[in-house]
Chain A
């Protein structure tokens, strides 16, 4: 079983075109032969009609007079051209009066059916036979049919012409078919060769060989397709090379990043260790300085005059500030070094807030500010978390609020968001506010709002950085909204983990 679907396109095209050419040429040749035949038959009938008219014109009087010899000679004279192969004359009753080509025929005088039909027919009668066309016509003078003429026109010229036409037609058909086949083969190759080249190139490209292109010399649609394919291959190759380069770069960058990260971590660790060590080493003498300052101020070593008291007080104040800075640095370094661990223990948030409120409220009052506290009663009685760190966070935020608020109030608000499994702490003040450009950096180390706002306010600049790190360690996040000269609101969101013991029993 031949599977034609697998045949090459060139063979299919060649076969189709060849069949079409052969059929067309054959049909045209046959049509031509038949039309020539029809034309010849028509011409022969017209010739017979003309000859009969001529016979009637020249022989009617002879027929009327029954001058048979003259009639015989008249019709016989037509035969000299060999186009006329038979001729008869009939009287009004259809009797054969003369047979021009066989005058001794016993038919003369007999009634011939053909003659009888002729004299009774108002029209010219044609009778096609194998080798001749019999054409007959009655001769009518006035109302009287005086007889009829009948002639036989040879069809030999027709047959000869048809044979010639057939032979010529077959020759032309053969030549045309062969030419058509050759042309169709060439045409098919012309059409399919670019496709074959393109197909081969596509297959190689599909197998990963992007080093070659399809070379098509024509300027047709296939050439456009090939150009597009070549462009696609070049772009694909370029793209793959670029991707390879980028992959290498990314890989290299990743390695560099890993190294840098490791170096950074090591640096942070070393920095933290250094800070921890130096802080520890600093705190010991500093505590001694502060201790001796206190002793001096309480007169342990004798009374101090006013100037000495002032100097010692300034010494203690600066020492305390230095200690605070060292503690903050120590905290920050611990956090960055990962040495601060957040504890997950049950605690009572209500009690914590109440406790802190006592501290903060007095500080606020000292600064002529109003401290407001609001704790949602639905807040669970006991939560899981690091109470100490949480306290540090709230103290830092409230202390900051008091520090940057000259008048007005400080509001501490605590409430749960059960749906989000979080609980929230907001600290709102009516202070100087934070300019918009500083909101993004407010939580970074050693950042205070630059300019006139921060200068009057003393601090290490590490409080919010420590606060953010602590909140993150507790699995929460901190954000701030602020309007200059109106106030700021810091919002802390923490995971709501209710301690088992405080879960309501149903």
Chain B
């Protein structure tokens, strides 16, 4: 082996050693680095947030009552951004979404004008109009439907075949501020001359001359159907959209006891002191959103809304019928 070969081998080995040392350069004990946020929304939204904070301008705030802000805000934020952008001439620079944990909080926010725009079903809309002075402006085709009703049902193998058989039985309802899950079925039964009484639990006794009901407060309306199927309550009531979407096999085990009248599916409302030009602009934007692909995409994300339109008989008429039903239940 010549000296030249020997030197070459030693140098090669040293290079491997040095490479190992250089690639193994220890990271400083304290080092900071940033990686791309796993949440793409955060990454894309942040610049706008910074712009919002740095530019003085008005923010259009949409309010919503939901148990999970994290699940709800992403559905509403695109619409808020879209509307805010359409109101740029009016000085709006950003859209925001504010999630209230309950109905009372929302009423409080509405009264304090913290909410510019809100969407709700007819019964809570009626309350919000009455208590916070918001103004209905358009009908919302939430879930792709303009109107909806409530289906009252029981299990086929039960001895309940009509609403008359509900006497002495427990009925599963959604929550006390729900149109289809409370006001419509309660009014329907009241109109039929049945006395309906809220019970504290499913095991609470129900008198033979009354129909007991309990609020399930489900995460999903389908849970009420499951309650009936599982026998927790002998009967239940859900909106027609949910019931019709239930599986055919599942529905074979259920008997429909009755269906209420139909009411508007959802109502868009603005705070009472919002400038009329802004209101008009919002209405115009909402009405033509379904005519553009960008608008359709935002509407779809916004709880599968297909479009907004004017109330066929006017907003006052829609709320007037709701008031009548409300009175019927008192």
Contact = CB atoms under 8 A, between A and B. Distances in A.
B246 interface: no
Interface of A: 13, 16, 19-20, 23-24, 26-28, 30-31, 33-35, 37-38, 41, 45, 49, 52-53, 56-57, 60-61, 64-65, 121-130, 137-145
Contacts of B45: 140, 142-143
Interface stretch (B28-36, B121-129, B162-170, B174-182): B28-36
B17 A122 contact: no
A139 B101 CA distance: 19
Nearest to B59: A143
B74 A141 contact: yes
B10 interface: yes
Given A129-B30, A142-B96, A144-B96, A16 B81 contact: no
Given A16-B9, A138-B42, A122 B37 contact: yes
Contacts of A52: 38
Nearest to A139: B42
B9 A145 contact: no
Contacts of B52: 143
Contacts of A124: 34-38
B73 A141 contact: yes
A121 B34 contact: yes
Contacts of A26: 17
Interface residues of B, number: 54
A143 B95 contact: yes
Interface in B35-82: 35-39, 41-43, 45-49, 52, 67-71, 73-74, 76-77, 80-81
A498 to B, nearest CB: 73
Interface stretch (B18-26, B110-118, B145-153, B225-233): B18-26
Interface of B: 1, 6, 9-10, 13-14, 16-17, 19-21, 23-39, 41-43, 45-49, 52, 67-71, 73-74, 76-77, 80-81, 94-97, 99, 101
A118 B33 CA distance: 12
A125 B49 contact: no
Contacts of A41: 27
B168 to A, nearest CB: 40
Contacts of A30: 17, 20-21, 24
Contact of B24 (A31, A139, A142): A31
A61 B24 contact: no
B27 A128 contact: yes
B58 to A, nearest CB: 14
Given A20-B10, A33-B24, A128 B34 contact: no
A64 B70 contact: yes
Contacts of A37: 24, 26
Contacts of B17: 23-24, 26-27, 30
20 contacts: A16-B10, A20-B9, A27-B21, A45-B35, A56-B39, A61-B68, A123-B34, A123-B37, A125-B34, A128-B27, A128-B30, A130-B29, A138-B42, A141-B97, A142-B74, A142-B76, A142-B80, A142-B97, A143-B49, A144-B73
A122 B35 CA distance: 9
A405 to B, nearest CB: 85
B20 A27 contact: yes
B158 to A, nearest CB: 38
A33 B21 CA distance: 10
Contacts of B20: 27-28, 30-31, 34
A64 B6 CA distance: 70
A53 B38 contact: yes
B31 A128 contact: yes
Nearest to A30: B20
Nearest to A146: B69
Given A23-B14, A61-B67, 10 more contacts: A19-B13, A24-B13, A28-B16, A28-B20, A31-B19, A31-B20, A33-B24, A49-B38, A140-B39, A143-B80
Contacts of A24: 13, 16-17
Contacts of B25: 34
Contact of A65 (B6, B46, B48, B101): B101
B66 to A, nearest CB: 9
A50 to B, nearest CB: 8
A121 B29 CA distance: 22
Query: Looking at A26, A37, A60, A122, which has the most chain B CB atoms within 10 Å of its CB?
Result: A122
Contacts of B35: 45, 49, 123-124, 126
B38 A65 contact: no
Contacts of A33: 24
A322 B37 CA distance: 146
Contacts of A65: 69, 101
Contacts of B41: 140, 142
B37 A144 contact: no
A34 B24 contact: yes
A358 to B, nearest CB: 92
Contacts of A16: 1, 6, 9-10
B49 A144 contact: yes
B29 to A, nearest CB: 5
A121 B81 CA distance: 22
Nearest to A36: B24
Nearest to B31: A128
Contacts of B97: 141-144
A37 B28 CA distance: 13
Contacts of B95: 143
Nearest to B32: A127
Residue picked from A28, A35, A61, most chain B C-beta under 10 Å: A61
B46 A145 contact: yes
A26 B18 CA distance: 11
Contacts of B10: 16, 19-20
Contact of B70 (A53, A60, A145): A60
Nearest to B97: A142
A456 B1 CA distance: 89
A122 B29 CA distance: 24
Contacts of A27: 13, 16-17, 19-21
Nearest to A145: B49
Contacts of B73: 141-142, 144
A31 B43 CA distance: 36
A436 B34 CA distance: 116
B160 to A, nearest CB: 38
